[in-house]
Structure 1
Amino acid sequence: MSVDDLQRPLGTAQEAAKRSAGARLRAFGKGLARVRPLPVITVAAGLVVAAAIGWIGVVDDPLGGEPIARTRIEGTAPAATPSGAPAGVPSSPQSTANAAAGAAPGAEGPAGEGASSAPDGPSVAVIDGRSGKINDVPVAGDRLAPAPDPRLVEKARHGAVPRIAADGTRPFETYARPAPAIAPGKSAMPRIAIVVGGLGISANGTSEAIAKLPPEVTLAFAPYGTDLDRVVARARTQGHEVLLQVPMEPFDYPDNDPGPQTLLTTLTSDQNVDRLHWFLARFPGFIGVATYMGARFTSSESALAPVMREVTRRGLMFLDDGSSQRSVTREIAGGLGTTFARADVVLDAAASPVAIDNALMRLERMAGERGSAVGFATALPVSIDRVARWAKEVETRGYLLVPLSATVARGKKGA
């Protein structure tokens, strides 16, 4: 022990050691603080990615050996056609042309020499699994004709409007749903047609009607919706024949205004016909027009007659929705030879499930008494739901649901 040790106060050595250790710890902490963690993490991630790329480049199966199944397909000799060539291989340039045109095998040559017996109507090609022969099997045709048919339109001031073709073909017949093939036991059943209107304005309501209602239900579209061409085309693709609703003046107009271009009793006949053309140019493919409101307009013979004459001249039908008891549409249609129908029952005059069901029962009774009847409803959710439910069971009660065109007198081809 040195003299200094003896002379230093007790405890001072330990305190000095502690101060020295604390200083070293603080220095080490400051060094750690200078090290930024982000570069370290980045370098580590880069090493992991590089290792993965190297693994994929070196290893034959980087996914670790997913199971693969291989099988051998044994070839079979194709069946021979009457010409001696294998089925599916044209034996001559003419047979190649026939195949390109959709002709059945063996259809080459003049009639009576291997001519095809393919049906005239819609058919499905069915391949015989043993012989390879293609047979055309007829099916019930319920697809609507494409619209617009170039023969049935003409350019007018507001766009393309319907017309009767040069050969007398009318839009009404062309765009109607094809007549269903009715079994002999059902041919005497009373027929019921239902039209649901007010479509095209609400996207949800329109989609629900197209999806829920059977294709035999005729759909009527208001002229003010957006993207009507596409929506109407979708409805027709599902098999629904369609009508165009034409807004007409109600008794409380203008407090109750159907919309732009409404047909009015205060306008001249030329002005109303011009407005009618505006509506007719909204979308293609409809079989006729239907009233939209219009209690005052349909009660005025002087205002209505020129409009119905123009509808008839263009080969369309006219539907009165049955909402006005003062309508003179039937009388005018009879004088013009218009293809005409009037709804016998407004199904949702009271929009409740019970009231709609009662109206449908009343429609059935009328169809039983007359042989056919027409009902009209608007595209309310409750109306769509009740009509869809009713349609599923209508045949079990002895009634046949048909499109509107199947219940109307054909009328004459123009006026």
Structure 2
Amino acid sequence: MVAIIIDDMGKRLQEARSLADIGVPLTFSIIPGLPKDRQVAAEAEQRGIELLIHMPMEPKGYPAKRLEENGLLLGQSDEEIRARVGKYLEALPQAVGANNHMGSNFTENREKMAVVLNILKSRGLFFIDSKTSPASIGYDLAEEMGVRSASRNVFLDNIQQADYISKQLSQAVDIARKRGSAIAICHPHPVTIQTLAAELPRLREEGVTFVPVSRLVH
């Protein structure tokens, strides 16, 4: 079983439609506050596509490395973080879970991650650790706190080239064949959408089962 999460959704409705048209179960992760966040969420709901909240979190190198204005920062109080996460949930009530957008700094901080995970737990939502930092404690802490969770195995499109994306997809499939399942993350770049449209139906015929990521959390 392979779950593919499309991060950074919410900019354009056409991306969502093109991805939905592939006809393979995918998971859209929407950044709250992007121009078409609610329209993309409505489209996903209509097409039976699972939704996550792509929570913007402080990266290493912030503020030189830019982050959305509604992002979560280590310097914010717990109250401010709760208020911001509450707004994400308000904007995207269809979401069944969340994963981190950026966050190489934030996901290494136990105290602040606990604030976020507590909210997800209280709403019955799960957490996917995007693993933007190898030192992220997101997944381990979620497990410890009893929040349903999983973590990413492969990034598909760090290089925006069809050959590279195909190779990364094969890697995700290899992991799934060995371990039973794998989670891959990519973005709605034109070349990514084209490559997924070409590869996923073929892989499905070869016996790969594509599933919404909720099937792989525990």
- Residue in 2 aligned with 1:232? 41
* Alignment CA distance shift 1:227-1:353 (3 Å): closer
Please identify runs of 4+ aligned residues in structure 1 that moved more than 4 A.
none
- The answer as to 2:178 corresponding to 1:372 is no
Question: 1:215 offset after TM fit, Å?
Answer: 4.6
- Residue in 2 aligned with 1:206? 16
- Residue in 2 aligned with 1:408? 217
What secondary structure sits across from 2:91 in the alignment?
A: coil
- Residue in 1 aligned with 2:125? 316
Aligned counterparts of 1:269 and 1:217: Cα–Cα separation in 2: 33
- Residue in 2 aligned with 1:293? 102
Question: 1:408 offset after TM fit, Å?
Answer: 1.5
What secondary structure sits across from 1:362 in the alignment?
A: helix
Structure having the higher helix fraction is 2
Which of 172, 188, 205 is the matching residue for 1:396? 205
Question: 1:227 offset after TM fit, Å?
Answer: 4.6
What secondary structure sits across from 2:205 in the alignment?
A: helix
Gaps of at least 5 residues in structure 1 are 1-190, 410-415
Gaps of at least 5 residues in structure 2 are none
Query: What amino acid is the match of 2:115?
Result: P
* Alignment CA distance shift 1:266-1:196 (3 Å): same
1:230-275 Cα deviation digits (max 9, x unpaired): 3311111111111111100001111122211211111122221111
Which of 177, 195, 206 is the matching residue for 2:5? 195
What secondary structure sits across from 1:198 in the alignment?
A: strand
- The answer as to 2:148 corresponding to 1:347 is no
Larger relative contact order (Cα-Cα within 8 Å, sequence gap ≥ 6): 2
- Residue in 1 aligned with 2:79? 270
Question: 1:303 offset after TM fit, Å?
Answer: 1.5
What secondary structure sits across from 2:96 in the alignment?
A: strand
- Residue in 2 aligned with 1:159? none
Question: 1:396 offset after TM fit, Å?
Answer: 2.8
Aligned counterparts of 2:96 and 2:104: Cα–Cα separation in 1: 23
Aligned counterparts of 1:227 and 1:265: Cα–Cα separation in 2: 27
Aligned counterparts of 2:72 and 2:32: Cα–Cα separation in 1: 13
Q: Could you tell me the TM-score, scaled by structure 2's length? A: 0.94
Contact 2:128/2:139 (<8 A) preserved:
no
Question: 1:309 offset after TM fit, Å?
Answer: 1.3
1:311-352 Cα deviation digits (max 9, x unpaired): 111110111223321211111011111111211001111111
Contact 2:142/2:148 (<8 A) preserved:
yes
The structure with the larger Rg is 1
Question: 1:276 offset after TM fit, Å?
Answer: 0.9
Query: What amino acid is the match of 2:92?
Result: F
Contact 1:229/1:284 (<8 A) preserved:
no
Query: What amino acid is the match of 2:74?
Result: T
Query: What amino acid is the match of 2:138?
Result: T
Aligned counterparts of 1:216 and 1:203: Cα–Cα separation in 2: 18
Share of identical aligned residues, percent?
Answer: 27
What secondary structure sits across from 1:401 in the alignment?
A: coil
Q: Could you tell me the TM-score, scaled by structure 1's length? A: 0.51
- Residue in 2 aligned with 1:357? 166
5 Å matches for 1:145-160?
none
Contact 2:54/2:99 (<8 A) preserved:
yes
